[in-house]
Amino acid sequence: MPKPYSFPLDFITGHVDMSHGGGGKAMAQLITELFTQHFDNTWLQQQNDQAVLTLPPGRVAISTDSHVISPLFFPGGDIGSLAVHGTVNDVAMSGAKPLYITAGFIIEEGFPLAELKRIVISMANAAVQAGTPIVTGDTKVVESGKADGVFITTTGIGVIPDGVHISGDQAQPGCAVLVSGSIGDHGVAVMASRENLTFQTRILSDSAALNGLVADMVAVAPTALRCLRDPTRGGLATSLNELANQSGVGIVINEAPLPIKAEVKAACEILGLDPLYVANEGKLVCVCDANAADALLTVMRNHPLGRDAALIGEVIADPHHFVQMNTAFGGRRIVDWPVGEQLPRIC
Amino acid sequence: MPKPYSFPLDFITGHVDMSHGGGGKAMAQLITELFTQHFDNTWLQQQNDQAVLTLPPGRVAISTDSHVISPLFFPGGDIGSLAVHGTVNDVAMSGAKPLYITAGFIIEEGFPLAELKRIVISMANAAVQAGTPIVTGDTKVVESGKADGVFITTTGIGVIPDGVHISGDQAQPGCAVLVSGSIGDHGVAVMASRENLTFQTRILSDSAALNGLVADMVAVAPTALRCLRDPTRGGLATSLNELANQSGVGIVINEAPLPIKAEVKAACEILGLDPLYVANEGKLVCVCDANAADALLTVMRNHPLGRDAALIGEVIADPHHFVQMNTAFGGRRIVDWPVGEQLPRIC
């Protein structure tokens, strides 16, 4: 496409202005020099308002997440990588192989083009790693003070292997409950960064695409996998309560085997947080037939993102659909839904 | 699902607060009592983080648009109906039959629940009319002053009939250029509402889902249809320039047959706008083989959304890819890309 404008964008000192969302020359330039450049793929190069894809046969999983995290850059990631990981993971939690992503940007007037470029490159890298090209998108600009830097909404689409039926309503008494690794890393990393807390060991977000891990789990136990969920906002406690409610069961977990990094535990004490309620962006909770738990734990621990996978509890019959925890001290307590907002804008 | 909370939301005097985006009880309540209630469908009721769909065989079209229109309610529509129409239309412009929609909401803390409900109901009605259920979504809340009421990002997915190959790069010299009706209605309705202008005839946005019209056009001329585009931001002038650039051709349109309502023309004069650059949300421009133009115009005029369809020009060979207009006074002028932003936040 011949460029309908003359000067390249200034990605060092330039800023986004209202014209970049106006549909004219300036927007075409931003799309060509930034988005198409870095999200480089044949669908975007077609420059249509939609992407045309060929999907393999099978049931299709689709998921959308709007990302409003603050700050935009945090230890272990940024809003760009997070927007890919969050949506890839939501698609993968159906057992699907995520295939494509779309992205809608809402940008505040005056946002530095250098930061936008950093976000777009990070997003592009995350998409390549996850194997999910960003095939179409949209850019809107709102006046200064009407947004907060950048918001990114991503939609992911994937195809579910035949015979796989993973859903939040499939947990049954007797099932095992597994987590793929340490909990609370993402929320604590973001909070520590907001509060300017420093620890001896730097706490990094666990933000990562879990589709490879899920594919390994599906391969070893295609029918024994019942529920998968990534415990993001509201943390593990919320995901377990959701699953208990959807399936009409109770869940009992054990505190002792629950993987929590020492530095995350320490930071939670300082910040007054309960790690059970702190967001994760690279972990999953899995409910499976009890006899498949060992095989699943083995493949999970063989995957870089499941090295600390653990059996943490079991599903029980419970008309109240409570989530309970056997504490390290020998007691048992209810792990309730969070009522309000422990950590605003964590994803 | 048993309700994990006690009191119904107050949709008369209540407001959205940060907890409604927190992933806990308050968010579950907002989803159950508002979104699932009005977007009523089996996919949402499954309460998973993704929807699982069965698509008919064929190539899949997918499109995403973020909507940031101001004001949220305007003559002839609101951000909810617009978010459905905009995305349904982008999918339909590939010739696809749009099938499903996803929605990501970014809501400003303090936003009245009554207005949110009005938007959600409008969105639900638009989705029913378009035949595209809203199957999954996400809700985020940001602090007061960090957004502007509500932003809605929708993604649409559809399937393209076999043998249909509509794309912006398919225009060839000799092709005819059609529009489906009067131009500029949406942008002028929104601007008049912003500026509190009143005219003898109230100007309404043309916001509408064009998938029915496109289906009729595809049925009568499946292979003669070459390009379809909905001239939103930047108006007809921008869409024509995009098509000329993508296809590597020139386009010449005629001012005389261009359908523009008298009141829109008058408002444009008062507001200092050129209707060629004003946004539409229920119109399409079509490039087709010249010998199919009459048949297409006939089916378009038989559809309620194409009653004023007109042949407005033709595609020519032009190494500069210019769009030109034969004016009503007998001259010819270049219809250039808009450089900046004529009407910010029009969609």
Does residue A1 carry a pLDDT above 50?
no
Give mean pLDDT, residues B207-216. 98
In chain B, ranges of CATH 3.30.1330.10 domains: 18-160
Distance CA B227, CA B177 (A): 9
> Which residues lie closer than 8 Å to B273 by C-beta, 6 or more apart?
B184, B187, B188, B191, B267, B342, B343
- Shortest alpha-carbon distance between residue A339 and chain B (Å): 5
Confidence of residue B248 (pLDDT cuts 50, 70, 90): very high
Residue B147 touches chain A, beta carbons under 8 Å: yes
- Shortest alpha-carbon distance between residue A202 and chain B (Å): 26
Position A6 scores a pLDDT of: 57
Residue with tokens 């490159």: A121
Position B5 scores a pLDDT of: 53
Residue B67 identity (one-letter amino acid):
H
> Which residues lie closer than 8 Å to B17 by C-beta, 6 or more apart?
A341, B26, B109, B110, B141
Residue with tokens 């789990």: A217
Position A122 scores a pLDDT of: 98
Position A200 scores a pLDDT of: 73
Cβ within 8 Å of A, B 177-216:
none
Does residue B278 carry a pLDDT above 60?
yes
Position A201 scores a pLDDT of: 75
Position B196 scores a pLDDT of: 82
> Which residues lie closer than 8 Å to B323 by C-beta, 6 or more apart?
B237, B240, B241, B244, B250, B251, B252, B253, B334, B335, B336
Give mean pLDDT, residues B71-91. 97
> Which residues lie closer than 8 Å to B203 by C-beta, 6 or more apart?
B75, B185, B188, B189, B192, B261, B263, B264, B267
Mind listing the pLDDT tens digit for each residue in B303-326? 999 999 999 999 999 999 999 999
End-to-end Cα spacing for chain B: 36
Does residue B139 carry a pLDDT above 80?
yes
Does residue A2 carry a pLDDT above 50?
no
Residue B242 touches chain A, beta carbons under 8 Å: yes
Nearest CA in chain B to A66: B104
Find the CB nearest A66 among B48, B68, B104.
Answer: B104
- The closest alpha carbon to B207, from B227, B230, B238, B240, belongs to B230
**Coil vs helix vs strand at A192:** helix
Mind listing the pLDDT tens digit for each residue in A31-83? 999 999 999 999 998 889 999 999 999 999 999 999 999 999 999 999 999 99
Does residue B144 carry a pLDDT above 60?
yes
Identify the CATH assignment for B176-334 out of 3.20.20.70, 3.90.650.10, 3.40.50.300, 1.10.3230.20. Answer: 3.90.650.10
Position A197 scores a pLDDT of: 79
Position B6 scores a pLDDT of: 57
Position A5 scores a pLDDT of: 53
Residue B102 touches chain A, beta carbons under 8 Å: yes
Identify the CATH assignment for B18-160 out of 3.40.470.10, 3.20.20.240, 3.40.50.150, 3.30.1330.10. Answer: 3.30.1330.10
Tell me phi and psi for residue A266, to 5 degrees: -65, -45
Position A342 scores a pLDDT of: 74
Mind listing the pLDDT tens digit for each residue in A210-247? 999 999 999 999 999 999 999 999 999 999 999 999 99
Beta bridge partners of A326: A254, A332
For residues B103 and B153, is the Cβ–Cβ distance under 8 A?
yes
Position A253 scores a pLDDT of: 98
Residue A90 touches chain B, beta carbons under 8 Å: yes
pLDDT, chain B, mean: 95
In chain B, ranges of CATH 3.90.650.10 domains: 176-334
Verify whether the Cβ–Cβ distance B61 to A52 is below 8 Å.
yes
